[in-house]
A and B are shown apart, each in its own frame.
Chain A
Amino acid sequence: MAAPFDLNDDSVVVIVGSGAGGGTLGTDLALKGVKVVMLEAGARHNMEDFVNNEWESFAQLAWTDMRTTSGSWRVHKNFPNLPAWIVKSVGGSSVHWAGASLRFQEHEFKTRTTYGDLDGANLLDWPITLKELEPYYARAEDRMGVTRTNGIPGLPGNNNFKVFEAGAKKIGYKEVSTGRMAINSEARNDRGSCQQIGFCFQGCKSGAKWSTLIAEIPRGEETGNLEVRPQCMVVKIEHDASGKASGVVYVDKDGKMQRQKARIVAVAGNSIESPRLLLNSASNMFPDGLANSSGQVGRNYMRHMTGSVYGVFEKPVHMYRGTTMAGIVRDEAGFDTKRGFVGGYEMETLSLGVPFMAAFLDPGGWGRSFTSAMDGYVNMAGMWLVGEDMAQETNRVTLNTEVKDKHGMPVANVHFDDHPNDVAMRNHAYAQGAAIYEAVGATRTLPTPPYPSTHNLGTNRMSEKPRDGVVNKHGQTHDIPNLFVSDGSQFTSGGAENPTLTIVALAIRQAEFIAAEMGKGTI
Chain B
Amino acid sequence: MTTLIDRRGPSRRALLAGIGAAGALMVSGAAVLNPREAWGLEVSALKPETMRTLIVMARDVYPHDRVPDRFYAVAMKPYEADAAKDPALKALVEEGVITLDTLAKARYGVPYADVGWEDQRVALLREIEGGAFFEKVRSGLVVGLYNQEDVWPIFGYEGSSADKGGYIDRGFDDIAWL
Of the stretches A127-135, A190-198, A449-457, the one at the interface is: A190-198
Nearest chain B CB to A312 CB, angstrom units: 12
Q: Which residues of B contact A318 (CB under 8 A)?
A: 156, 158, 171, 174-175
Q: Is the CB of A378 within 8 A of B157?
A: yes
Is A55 engaged at the interface, CB distance under 8 Å to the other chain? yes
B residues 154-178 with Cβ under 8 Å of A?
155-163, 165-168, 170-175, 177-178
| Contact A55 to B172, CB < 8 A, known contacts A199-B162, A316-B156 | no
A354/B155 in contact, CB under 8 A: yes
Cβ distance A387 to chain B, nearest Cβ, rounded Å: 27
Chain B: how many interface residues by the 8 Å CB criterion? 35
Which chain A positions have C-beta within 8 A of B175?
Answer: 159, 162-163, 316-318
A198, B157: Cβ atoms under 8 Å? Answer: no
A17 to B144, CA, bound (A): 34
List residues of chain B with CB under 8 Å of any chain A CB. Answer: 61-64, 66, 122, 138, 142-143, 145-147, 151-152, 155-163, 165-168, 170-175, 177-178
A-B contact pairs, 9 of them (CB 8 A): A162-B175, A198-B161, A314-B177, A358-B142, A359-B146, A367-B122, A374-B146, A378-B155, A440-B178
> How many angstroms between the C-alpha atoms of A276 and B164 in the bound complex?
42
**Residue ranges of A at the interface with B (Cβ–Cβ < 8 Å):** 50, 52-55, 156-159, 162-163, 166, 194-199, 205-206, 314-318, 320-322, 353-355, 357-359, 364, 366-368, 370-371, 374-375, 377-379, 440
Q: Which of A322, A354, A357, A374 contacts B167 (CB 8 A)?
A: A322
Q: Are A366 and B173 in contact (CB under 8 A)?
A: no
Query: Which residues of chain B come closer than 8 Å to A198, judged between CB atoms?
Result: 161, 166-167
Which residue from A158, A205, A353, A367 sits with its C-beta under 8 Å from B61? A367
Alpha-carbon distance between A162 and B178 when the two chains are bound, in angstroms: 8
Chain A residues with Cβ below 8 Å from B177 are 314-315
3 closest Cβ pairs, A-B complex: A378-B156, A195-B166, A322-B172
The answer to whether B166 touches A206 (Cβ under 8 A) is yes
Least CB distance, B98 to chain A, in whole angstroms: 21
Q: Which of B64, B138, B163, B172 contacts A321 (CB 8 A)?
A: B172
Q: Given A156-B173, A370-B62, do A377 and B166 touch, yes or no (CB 8 Å)? A: no
Residues of A within 8 Å of B161, CB to CB, are: 52, 197-199, 321
Q: Shortest beta-carbon distance, A285 to chain B, in Å?
A: 46
Instruction: Among B151, B166, B170, find the residue whose CB has the most chain A CB atoms closer than 10 A.
Output: B166
Please pick, from A53, A206, A357, the residue contacting B160 in the complex, using a CB distance under 8 A: A53
- Given the complex, which residues of B lie within 8 Å of A374, measured CB to CB? 62, 64, 146, 155
Query: Which chain B residue shows the least CB distance to A381?
Result: B175
